[in-house]
Amino acid sequence: MKKHGILNSSISRVLSSMGHTDTIAIGDCGLPIPDGPERIDLSLTLGVPRFMDVLKAVSDDMKIEKITLADEIQLQNPDILKDIQALFPEDIQVEFVSHSDLKERTRQCKAVIRTGEQTPYANIILQSGCIF
């Protein structure tokens, strides 16, 4: 049994298989998940688990060089945006795209993790960095 890091076997396996520039998405309970990427559904009830709890756990276990967010988060969910900005160091590239573009980009992700988050535009794509 693991002592540290992600205990969820699906998330742990996906993170272990990722290479430089591969992507994974974490979304709220309403984010549509296209056919193609692995669906990792963590949602239990509305709000559980929270988006930020899942993002924090994944970011602790993953080298991230870039994040992609929906433009709409800036006006529609500034509290989550502040939490995201506080979580990541300034050297991580941040890209804002339309929500429809973000949803389209999830098709290229290795996996999409669904949380119980019920606030708008609480969705992110994480691009893997290189550990050396």
Report how far residue 6's alpha carbon sits from residue 39's, in angstroms, rounded to the nearest whole number: 17
DSSP characters over 69-100 = EETTHHHH-HHHHHHHHHHS-TTSEEEEE-HH
In this structure, are strands 124-128 and 23-27 parallel, antiparallel, or unpaired? antiparallel
Does the active-site annotation cover 20? Answer: yes
Check 7, 13, 20, 100 and give the catalytic one.
Answer: 20
Radius of gyration of the chain from its Cα atoms, rounded to whole angstroms: 14
User: Which of the residues are catalytic?
Assistant: 20
